[in-house]
Amino acid sequence: MPPACSGGTAFLSVGCRSVSGMSTNKVTSADGTLIAYDLLGSGSPVVVVGGATCDRAKMSGISSELARHYAVVNYDRRGRGDSGDTAPYAVEREVEDLAALIADVGGSAALYGHSSGAGLVLHALAAGLPVTRAVLHEPPYSADAMAAGSREYAASLASLLDAGRRDDALALFFSITGLPTEMVSAWRAEPWWAGTAALAPTLAYDSAVMGDAAGGTVPFESARAAVAPSLVLVGGASPAWMTDTDRALAEAMPAGSLRVLEGEEHVVEPSVLVPVLVEFLAELDAR
């Protein structure tokens, strides 16, 4: 089974316009790209933004659990799943994708982003999208001492993708997350590898979102422009540098706060995560 995205690795079978409250839709972004999303549950809208190698199928665990409380928009970021893609890529296009989704579900929404998806949420906040509240779950910004490594990763990733070496690009991504080389090598023979490697070009998108080419450190200018009430989540068992960078991010945001999930790492099970999200988002229910 592939490494888990936020919410675990459970896959949800998606159909069209079901009576159960889940529907599959497409919205046209500003550049004409079609963005696919599922709408689950009812109530105030919350958009779920996945991180690297995650499409909406891999985010179905957190989405379906959160849909017990809210109308959840679980979408394929551009270049993934059933969404389209239009060259050249720019982070601004992904912000426009979120703007189109928010407009399609009523004109304002809360955002939950995990990992590099949280970095995309920060870009959306800084751009002034109509976001009611936001949760940024462990955006992996680099510590200052790690900036050179982030720049090297961005350059190596671009070189591999330019050469069409998607498998090697995926292996590089897994290696920079700290996974042992022998584990990544073994994964290449797993049935899920080919499908995940097909998403390798979007690793460059996540790298751009996180600003790796510039060192990948906390973008304080963007943080100061993010005025919506925002919660930054970090696992208590995650590396100390993650806690430090996420704390700096929360402190830089005008209405930011930090919460440490004791005993948790980068991926948190929905049964643990969703109550935290519901507690923070509860203010939406009174609107």
Beta-bridge partner residues of 72? 40, 46
pLDDT in tens, 149-189: 999 999 999 999 999 999 999 999 999 998 999 999 999 99
Residue type, 249: L
Query: For 135-168, what is the HEC assignment?
Result: EEECCCCECHHHHHHHHHHHHHHHHHHHCCCHHH
Give the pLDDT score at 224.
98
Per-residue pLDDT at 7 exceeds 50: no
pLDDT higher for 184 or 285? 184
Residue-wise burial string across 205-224, b where 16 or more C-beta atoms lie within 10 A, e elsewhere: bbbbbbbbeebbbbbeebbe
Q: Which two tokens stand for residue 46?
A: 């919350």
Average pLDDT, the chain: 92
Query: For 113-128, what is the HEC assignment?
Result: EECHHHHHHHHHHHCC
Per-residue pLDDT at 79 exceeds 90: yes
Dihedral sign, CA of 215, 216, 218, 224? positive
Decide if 73 contacts 45 (C-beta within 8 A). yes
Percent of the chain with pLDDT over 90: 89
Mean of pLDDT values over 8-32:
54
Q: Domain spans of the chain?
A: 23-141+218-286, 146-206
3-state helix, strand, coil in the chain (%, to 5): 45, 20, 40
Give the pLDDT score at 11.
24
pLDDT in tens, 211-257: 999 999 999 999 999 999 999 999 999 999 999 999 999 999 999 99
Per-residue pLDDT at 16 exceeds 90: no
pTM value is 0.93
Per-residue pLDDT at 9 exceeds 50: no
Long-range pairs for 91-95: beta carbons < 8 A, 24 or more residues apart = 91/120, 91/123, 91/205, 91/208, 91/209, 92/127, 93/29, 93/30, 93/31, 93/33, 94/120, 94/123, 94/205, 94/209, 95/120, 95/123, 95/124, 95/127, 95/129
Where residue 193 falls (left for φ over 0; alpha for ψ -120 to 50; beta otherwise) is alpha
Give the pLDDT score at 246.
98
Q: Which residues contact 247 (CB under 8 A, 6 or more apart)?
A: 232, 234, 258
Split at pLDDT 50, 70, 90, the class of 2 is low
CATH assignment of 23-141+218-286, among 3.40.50.2030, 3.40.47.10, 3.10.129.10, 3.40.50.1820: 3.40.50.1820
Dist. CA 123–CA 252, nearest whole Å: 14
Per-residue pLDDT at 102 exceeds 60: yes
Give the pLDDT score at 24.
81
Mean of pLDDT values over 73-98:
98
pLDDT in tens, 107-152: 999 999 999 999 999 999 999 999 999 999 999 999 999 999 999 9
Dist. CA 87–CA 79, nearest whole Å: 10
Residue-wise burial string across 132-164, b where 16 or more C-beta atoms lie within 10 A, e elsewhere: bbbbbbbbbbbbeebbeebbebbeebbebbeee
Split at pLDDT 50, 70, 90, the class of 284 is low
Give the pLDDT score at 1.
54
Task: Count how many residues are written for the chain.
Answer: 287
Give the pLDDT score at 167.
98
Rg (CA), the chain: 18
